[in-house]
Structure 1
Amino acid sequence: PIAIEVFSGDGRNYLLAFQKGVRNKVYQRFLAVVPSLTDSSESVSGQRPNTSVEQGSGLLSTLVGEKSVTQRWERGEISNFQYLMHLNTLAGRSYNDLMQYPVFPWVLADYDSEELDLTNPKTFRNLAKPMGAQTEDRLAQYKKRYKDWEDPNGETPAYHYGTHYSSAMIVASYLVRMEPFTQIFLRLQGGHFDLADRMFHSVREAWYSASKHNMADVKELIPEFFYLPEFLLNSNNFDLGCKQNGTKLGDVILPPWAKGDPREFIRVHREALECDFVSAHLHEWIDLIFGYKQQGPAAVEAVNVFHHLFYEGQVDIYNINDPLKETATIGFINNFGQIPKQLFKKPHPPKRVRSRLNGEAAGTSVPPGSTSDKIFFHHLDNLRPSLAPVKELKEPVGQIVCTDKGILAVEQNKVLIPPTWNKTFAWGYADLSCRLGTYESDKAVIVYECLSEWGQILCAICPNPKLVITGGTSTAVCVWEMGISKEKAKALTLKQPLLGHTDTVTCLTASLAYHIIVSGSRDRTCIIWDLNKLSFLTQLRGHRAPVSALCINELT
């Protein structure tokens, strides 16, 4: 079968598999139904579909100034994590396909220290070399295999590696402690867990196996190593067996610098991925996986040649006449993994890193007055108030919004409505009503009476022009829809009350990037809700006092 992956505007995506002839017809239907796909809409990678990943050499592309995702990364506009996700998606890697799952690099080589030194190059894996070339002894054996390779049938060209850095089995073994991956792993293994000694149970041992000890193991990582602490815990208490030395397998054993805490492991690991050393060398790894060192003479020189069936387009399954051979080939590709689509044909440009990496502390090598040194939070002592106030309010400030046209501010119990910010939504009146007003004057354009049955409102947000979300003494978080048409403009319609708090809701925030609403309450918990499905996602407990303020970091 052959597939289409559909990405919807609200962040959901679907992988649809078809027989060979059907897929293109379905794709054409999609284009007919969603005409914007072909022209102006942004593609998955946050760029227009017709811009290439590589910078165009033509005069037009430099004039139009269409920034490719690579240029945005080079300039530091997107993080290393985001950029790797973009590249994986553009290369056809997907969370919906374990055989072509997103692939991420091992970035560290130090799994023994109590504290990680991110300024010491020895802390890191060599990103210019594939996993098979991390240690000299093993590298020599792979080179010998390539040099001495002879295939009597002449069908298989020489290769360094007969196993791959990403496969369904590798992904399932990393995520085996979490459903649905536990079931997937059992299915791949024929219904039982693997021998305990072969299971993923220690980050340090997985690194040594993939970089040094095991000739059949050159695996890289998956994105979860940088954001998902849960996969390191055996929360479901699966019986994963005992190793030969009697150790019972449970949670994954973490390096000393993680202090025994999966969340600390993820925090430090993500920090390492985004640090200056990795930023300065990540392009070398991209060359190996997505770039010019993936194939051809450059791959041979980089000791980066895999079995030919791993490569896209190496075999036309539809033209194999021998049914046994066809089954064997499909089985091989399914079990052993596939190399991502090649995105770059020439060396990938490096990221412009803020500081040079000759052991100096970050930021010291930058001459004062250069642009990269002007990040305000490095120099809080130098901040000066503006000579004239930006805006004078009659009451305490409730919200500040920075727009291209300037800085807007409104009083407490008011929020500005995006994307034009020229209207305000206000609450906190004695009659429990809410009012829609204009930013420039205090006059109410519309008074909404319908909210009074939900008690006193203490907080409200407008994530987009159509939605208002309110919270207050009723303990419910109410999602209201604003009428856009003239007839309905005067009404707010209750889309959904979100029930979960046991005391007054005191604060709200939302993230369009992650499609979530977060509410905080006097009951000392926060609840995260799905903004699309308007349903409960998870609860954050353990706060020592009522929650009074919330903020979401859109980057992490």
Structure 2
Amino acid sequence: MNKSRFSMLLLEPGEIYFEDYSCTMNMVKIKTDCEQQGRLKLCSKSLVFEPREWVHPLIKLHFKECSVINTIKTKNSNETNMIQVKVKQYSEMLEENILAPYKFVYESMDFFFLFDFASADECLHQMQQLLRASTLHAPEHNSMVATILHSRYTRMIFDPIMMEDFTEKIICEFQTEKISPLVRHQGKLALTPTNLYFQPFSNVENSPILKMKLEHMRRIYKRRFLLRQVGLEIYCSEESSVCHIYLAFQSERERDRAYQIVEESPNVVLERVHIEEMTLQWQNGVVSNFDYLMYLNCLADRSKNDLTQYPVFPWVIADYTSERLDMESAQTFRDLSKPMGALNPDRLEKLLERYHEMSDPKFLYGSHYSAPGLVLFYLVRKYPHYMLCLQNGRFDHPDRMFNSVKDVYNNCLKNMSDFKELVPEFYDTLAKGDFLVNMYNIDFGERHDGSKVDNVHLPPWATSPEDFVTKLREALESEYVSRYLHLWIDLIFGYKQRGEEAVKAYNVFHHVCYEGSVDLECIYDMNDRHALEVQIMEFGQVPKQLFTKPHVRKILPKILKPLSNQGYDNKEYIMKCLNTISLHKEAVTSALRNGDIIISVSKDGTLKVYDMVQMKQIRSVILCSTPLSSCVMVDQNIVAAGSWDNEIYLYDVEYGRIVESFRAHDDSVSCLQWLSKDHLLVSGGWDGVVRVWGNVGKTGQALRGLKAEFDHDGRITTVAFRYRRHILDILAGTSDGEIFIWDYSTKELINKINVHTSDVTGVCLLCEDRIVTTSENGDLSVTDLGVLNSVYEKQVSTTITSVCCDGTCVLWLGGSSGALLQWNMTTVAQLNEEQAHDDLIQSIYFDYPSKTLITASNDKSIKVWQLMQRS
């Protein structure tokens, strides 16, 4: 049996296909040699006859061009099983099955259809209904067709024979549409505990039912479809027979119910990648620029199945004339901080003149950077049938087609109504630039200079379509683009997308392009509403806004791997407990390693020294009668200990004596930090003050060596430091959940960041511009100091009491239950969880020389862990 040539793309966008009939078509009343066997397709706006023989074209008869549709009697029979259709004009498609512009025949013609099995009277009733609908304005026409469709839906019964298991019970059914570019397939959706089924109304689909196992589902997204929150897009794993489906429901309520059923099913295991996690992975270089942009497009409701919201990518190369592409030169690249319309100062000046003369709501650009026509402008060679569908069977004028990359870029820079960006196909190395090639050998016509429209003319630096997209992809992943891509994200998906910031950035489009600017449900005039819908669909839509603060910039490694996202440090440690040390009578609050000795302090007021070689305690001293909170080495043999009696004690481990003690705060000393480079001791207290001491270790000189003090409202819970080249900053975490950043040299507050809602329990520096903070209520947060914005937040456990970093990307978190969690902050993933202690972990210390981890706990013990890199 021949494969059908008919597809929904031969209809107008959004047109509905109902059913088809086996019949014989003739252009005269009686049988002649020109009669053709085939099938007649009944659609909402047209009749399409598909001949059995491929040499004959498909005939399309628009209802609006029909003057007569009626049954007639044949000479040989009194039976009325023939329908006459009289049209003023008609079109022919796919003659000899060659994809080409439709042939329009502008003359009256009578077509006769003799039905093989169906009743002509019954068919006539449906055709005349649709004929009457064709005389109405578009809104009334759509309403009448929807009524016909609903009537058919109520008569349709979901066929359980097609289900995988006859014992399956249907949880719920919905009337839905399966969406693909420019096409909507009506049908019934049925959900069972194990499967999703879609049964189309018509037989145009390849199979009578589409089946998707819930256990194969991996990602599910709520989508905005045709301006309404009714879409649902589902992606499955590779083993699924159906890897993807895009559905549109009757209402947002029905969509949300289906989403909830799928999401809560015990058989569904979704891959949950949160935007903060993905952003952090991109910032670390784990995720490529290409993949990150695809992810953002997906989150912003952009899908390749919806041409009105197709994924949008930036122009990144500005040089289309050189013989060689110089990736080291900034002149090679487009300025990513500006929208396309603002790249040319002369054009921008003219646009601004017009803008200032407008009445509100003003707009700077009269066309959008992404719309169905613009998408197909780029992809007409790959998807010619889409363009024929969108443009009523015609291609664009040869001179207006995508003929040359250089010409299109220049036009986007100079033309007063052309501001389009790119589509992902420009950077898709797997497809090898197939969209640039006239792969179907279509006759697109000739340009004004007589040249034939064929493959796209590439810049001199590209030897082939594959080479072109490979170099564009290298450019997208290059150091220059990585350095500035966040600025383009701000324009398209971020805080410069709308409002005052958009005005400042010259990034203002027509108000109907923005989500939420027009509430269609409040427009009751059908004609006004339809006109607005058409305008928005054709003009383009701004993506859903994902960020309301400046987007973080990418952290550039010293060596960039342009086409690989596998060059990151996927570090993980295997942990083996070497020793458990139990010396204290109360909770151990802090412990560290110095060579072969372990030094610890406790709430019992004692400092203990344990020799790892001799496996025994070698020093023990009662420093005070109150608990000790922390300890750090300030010299090869001198340890500083902070106490609840407001003092800092200096103890010489070698000679076993207290060198000095001094009153450091007006309340308990809560934390200490030693800066070996500058020979400074930083202390934090419950009095809300951070102090920096310079003469530590010189007997009697500590108090005189007070170098700086910084006041805070809340108690100081943790201190840290960072170097910005030669500038030293002191960081303080407080009981108010805030992080303060002080410039040590000027003594000025650089920034105060509200990160947590409870006590900050730890601060670790990942790099110069990024810190990890933890809080008492179990929050883990990554904050970018460049934009003063938290880029990642995660509820890790009920309480995090301590945190430590290995100096690169591995983080350890100590919990109130004694659990020790290991995280890789490059891949942003928890690697493992160890039940290290029986009670709260007070401190974690990483000793780089010995590659050991020292943990101290309320269970009165210290544990030494050997760390081995997992291969």
TM-score, normalization by structure 2? 0.37
Deviations 1:12-61 (A, max 9, x none): 22110121243223223223435756xxx423xxx1xxx4x34xxxxxxx
**In structure 2, which of residues 449, 452, 475 is the aligned counterpart of residue 245 of structure 1?**
449
Shift of 1:347: 0.5
Q: Where does residue 162 of structure 1 map in the other structure?
A: 366
Deviations 1:180-221 (A, max 9, x none): x211111211211111111111111111111x2211110000
Q: CA RMSD in A?
A: 2.2
Q: Establish whether residue 42 from structure 1 lines up as the match of residue 271 from structure 2.
A: yes
One-letter code of the match for 2:435? F
SS of the residue 1:349 aligns to: coil
Q: Establish whether residue 183 from structure 1 lines up as the match of residue 183 from structure 2.
A: no
Structure-2 separation of matches of 1:316 and 1:403: 51
Pairs within 5 Å for 1:61-210? 68-150=277-359, 157-178=361-382, 181-210=383-412
Pairs within 5 Å for 1:187-336? 187-210=389-412, 212-227=413-428, 228=431, 229-259=433-463, 261-336=464-539
Contact 2:294–2:311, Cα closer than 8 Å, also in 1: yes
Change in Cα spacing, 1:284 to 1:177, as seen in structure 2 (3 Å) is same
One-letter code of the match for 2:303? S
Change in Cα spacing, 1:348 to 1:183, as seen in structure 2 (3 Å) is same
Structure-2 separation of matches of 1:209 and 1:404: 55
Q: Which has the higher contact order (CA 8 A, sep 6+)?
A: 1
SS of the residue 2:232 aligns to: strand
Unaligned runs of 5+ in 2: 1-225, 561-566, 576-871
Structure-1 separation of matches of 2:574 and 2:246: 41
One-letter code of the match for 2:491? L
Structure-2 separation of matches of 1:242 and 1:110: 27
Change in Cα spacing, 1:320 to 1:233, as seen in structure 2 (3 Å) is same
Structure-1 separation of matches of 2:266 and 2:312: 30
Shift of 1:159: 0.6
More helix by share: 1
Structure-2 separation of matches of 1:192 and 1:97: 21
Pairs within 5 Å for 1:436-515? none
Shift of 1:235: 1.3
SS of the residue 2:395 aligns to: coil
Deviations 1:478-513 (A, max 9, x none): xxxxxxxxxxxxxxxxxxxxxxxxxxxxxxxxxxxx
One-letter code of the match for 1:254? L
Q: Where does residue 5 of structure 1 map in the other structure?
A: 233
One-letter code of the match for 1:272? A
Q: Where does residue 416 of structure 1 map in the other structure?
A: none
One-letter code of the match for 2:365? Y
Structure-1 separation of matches of 2:574 and 2:557: 29
Structure whose alpha-carbon radius of gyration is higher: 2
Shift of 1:142: 1.8
Q: Where does residue 490 of structure 1 map in the other structure?
A: none
Structure-1 separation of matches of 2:408 and 2:462: 16
Contact 1:311–1:338, Cα closer than 8 Å, also in 2: yes
Deviations 1:320-355 (A, max 9, x none): 111111011110111111111111111111101135
One-letter code of the match for 2:426? F
**In structure 1, which of residues 7, 16, 41 is the aligned counterpart of residue 247 of structure 2?**
16
One-letter code of the match for 1:332? Q
One-letter code of the match for 2:341? G
Change in Cα spacing, 1:375 to 1:26, as seen in structure 2 (3 Å) is closer
Shift of 1:404: 7.3
One-letter code of the match for 1:252? V
Structure 1, 11-20 or 217-226: larger mean CA deviation: 11-20
Pairs within 5 Å for 1:521-540? none
Structure-2 separation of matches of 1:289 and 1:304: 9
Structure-1 separation of matches of 2:434 and 2:494: 32
Change in Cα spacing, 1:339 to 1:247, as seen in structure 2 (3 Å) is same
One-letter code of the match for 1:129? K
One-letter code of the match for 1:347? P
Runs of 4+ residues deviating >6 angstroms:
402-406
One-letter code of the match for 1:276? E
Structure-2 separation of matches of 1:81 and 1:375: 16
SS of the residue 1:103 aligns to: coil
Contact 1:254–1:262, Cα closer than 8 Å, also in 2: yes
Structure 1, 325-334 or 27-36: larger mean CA deviation: 27-36
Contact 2:286–2:568, Cα closer than 8 Å, also in 1: no
One-letter code of the match for 2:456? V
Shift of 1:137: 0.8
SS of the residue 2:351 aligns to: helix
Structure-1 separation of matches of 2:416 and 2:244: 37
Structure-2 separation of matches of 1:339 and 1:8: 28
Structure 1, 78-87 or 137-146: larger mean CA deviation: 137-146
One-letter code of the match for 1:206? V
Change in Cα spacing, 1:403 to 1:343, as seen in structure 2 (3 Å) is closer
Pairs within 5 Å for 1:357-372? none
Contact 1:94–1:101, Cα closer than 8 Å, also in 2: yes
Structure-2 separation of matches of 1:298 and 1:196: 39
SS of the residue 1:256 aligns to: coil
Q: Where does residue 96 of structure 2 map in the other structure?
A: none
Q: Where does residue 347 of structure 1 map in the other structure?
A: 550
One-letter code of the match for 1:6? I
Structure-2 separation of matches of 1:199 and 1:157: 33
Structure-2 separation of matches of 1:175 and 1:34: 41
SS of the residue 1:257 aligns to: coil
Shift of 1:241: 1.2
Unaligned runs of 5+ in 1: 55-67, 151-155, 356-361, 364-373, 377-401, 407-556
One-letter code of the match for 2:248? A
SS of the residue 2:407 aligns to: helix
**In structure 1, which of residues 13, 18, 31 is the aligned counterpart of residue 263 of structure 2?**
31
More strand by share: 2
Deviations 1:157-185 (A, max 9, x none): 1011121111111111111011xx21111
TM-score, normalization by structure 1? 0.57
Contact 1:14–1:96, Cα closer than 8 Å, also in 2: no
Contact 1:143–1:160, Cα closer than 8 Å, also in 2: yes
One-letter code of the match for 1:241? G
Shift of 1:403: 9.5
Deviations 1:274-314 (A, max 9, x none): 01000000000000000000001000000000001111111
Change in Cα spacing, 1:350 to 1:247, as seen in structure 2 (3 Å) is same
Q: Establish whether residue 337 from structure 1 lines up as the match of residue 545 from structure 2.
A: no
Structure-2 separation of matches of 1:192 and 1:200: 15
Q: Where does residue 792 of structure 2 map in the other structure?
A: none
Q: Where does residue 169 of structure 2 map in the other structure?
A: none
